[in-house]
Amino acid sequence: MTETTTIEESTPATPSHPTPASARPEVEVLRADPAPVRWVHRWRRAGRAEGRTHEWHAVRAGAVVAGLAALWMWNPGAVAFLGILTALVFLHELGHYVVARRVGMAPTDFFVGFGPTVWARTSRTGLRYGVKLLPAGGFVKIPGMGPREEVEASREPYTYRAATRGRRLAVILAGVAVNFALAVVLFAGFALSQPDTGAIDAVGTGLGQTGEVATGTLEGLGNLVFGADDYARSVVSGDVPENRMMSPVGGAQIADGLIDVDPSRLLLLAGIFSASLALLNLLPLLPLDGGHAALVVVEAVAARVTRRPRLRLDPNRFTPVAVVVLVVLLSVSASAMYLDILHPLGDAVR
């Protein structure tokens, strides 16, 4: 005789109110929520599965959007110029990053902007990239820029200091090379937009205008250095000095005027600032790229003279010089900004 046992399954009671999304299983979230929400969940889940993490600050993002919207309502040219400047610096830093990866270094940070983080994501390789609160400029961090910097033993072979001098020099000059190349492309692009201009002529025009901007920037810097007294007196008196430097405020004023007159000329403005940014970064002064390049060259000469191939110069020892350079650059920038506010440049293009 066979005894049959019946097991009755109890049906759970249906809750009187819907379960919040945070308490539902992930599969239910993916099924019930709108498509954009499902995409975000899948993106996050895929990132966690591959060892990636991400960070998001909605309040800061809202502040950035609100600030840009208010700036656009007040002065559209300021937003346009801010976008140009951010793009130029971003591509400059991207040049550093790409070459660093190609020569075997492992950058740990790559951000657009400065200040608190708005959005960030960490890749499987340990690179943390994202957007900062102040949308101007950017930076790439490569471990081992100084010989005394503490780095994990597993990351030591991929540091800046572990690379050969040739590779370090390539990484340093990559950003400048990108800005010079970008200036040629921008000038050539504007030339192509004009009637009866061929591609070869446009490239020639781009090269020529880049050279002219570089030469003019050098002359302006030389006049500023040797005519510092006259420049300072002009700034104090409120007069327009003969060798006037343009600040981001002046760039925004010109951009605003170009939007009204001929938006295509924004390419020229971007090309001028790209070439100027490259040349300024080539100055052999820390903390500029030219200063780091000069340090590598001096290190190579000292290593050969002293017969110490492994000699490494510590950039931190030149911190006082770097501080002085920063103070001078900030002072010149502040004075140029003051003059641009006192004597706007926007009317010059209208």
Q: Answer yes or no: are the C-beta atoms of 140 and 110 closer than 8 Å.
A: yes
**Tokens 């390539």 belong to residue:** 170
Instruction: Please spell the DSSP secondary structure of 311-334, one letter per residue.
Output: ----GGGGHHHHHHHHHHHHHHHH
**Tokens 């000329």 belong to residue:** 265
In DSSP terms, which residues pair with 130 in a beta bridge? Answer: 111, 120
Say how far apart CA 95 and CA 110 lie, in whole Å: 11
List the one residue out of 254, 255, 256, 230 whose CA is nearest residue 243. Answer: 230
Say how far apart CA 49 and CA 53 lie, in whole Å: 10
- Spatial strand order in the sheet of 128-141: 53-56, 109-122, 128-141
Say how far apart CA 287 and CA 276 lie, in whole Å: 17
* Catalytic one of 9, 26, 93, 152: 93
Instruction: Let me know if 242 is a catalytic residue.
Output: no
Say how far apart CA 42 and CA 178 lie, in whole Å: 36
Active-site residues: which are they?
Answer: 93
